[in-house]
Amino acid sequence: MSRKSYEDVTQFHGHSCPGLAMGYRMTQAALSHLEGKRSQDEELVAIVENDACGVDAVQYMAGCTFGKGNLIFKDYGKHVYTFYDRNTRKGVRVIFKVQKLPESLRAEREKLVKWILSEPDENVIELREVEIKEPERARIMKSVLCDFCGEAVMQTRTVQIEGKTACIPCANRIQGERSSQQEVSS
């Protein structure tokens, strides 16, 4: 299990806040349940369902990062993380019981953080063992140059426009310009 303290996670994140405390508790519970350690490579995968402060706890404590390809983001707006251990093939879904947060503390950040950190797991976290299809390992893709902006882009993230290679931002810009021109000429 990760031996990272909340103070360590706060240093990494930059400040203490309820979201970070939630992520800390959730990651701690998942690692304990999976009897896992911080991922050195891709042996542990985290699927996070929000892009809030708590995800920094996942990265710091579990070693799951975008760079290693073992942090997967699903934009569902939920305080839910699923951890999958490739070695044991076990998965656990960790749900933070937001509805349990005391209404009286919601406006008092520091008191709320202390409450989140001190409550027993069963009061704030729900763990569900899950079976999931093992996520793909990170793939290294060839980079090519965008013919419009000249920046390197992963080949799999390009589109062809009139025989030229375009990165997604350039393709969106060109498509927007063409739509504007069509509206003007209509």
Mean pLDDT by 10 residues, the chain (186 residues): 84 97 97 88 94 97 93 96 94 94 87 96 95 78 92 92 94 84 65
Helix (H, G, I), strand (E, B) or coil at 41: coil
What is the pLDDT, as a whole number, of residue 137? 77
Domains belonging to the chain, first-starting first, are: 6-130 (3.30.1330.130), 143-185 (3.30.60)
What is the pLDDT, as a whole number, of residue 183? 67
Contacts of 155 by beta carbon, 8 Å cutoff, 6+ apart:
141, 142, 143, 144
CA distances from 164 to 141, 151, 154 (A): 19, 14, 15
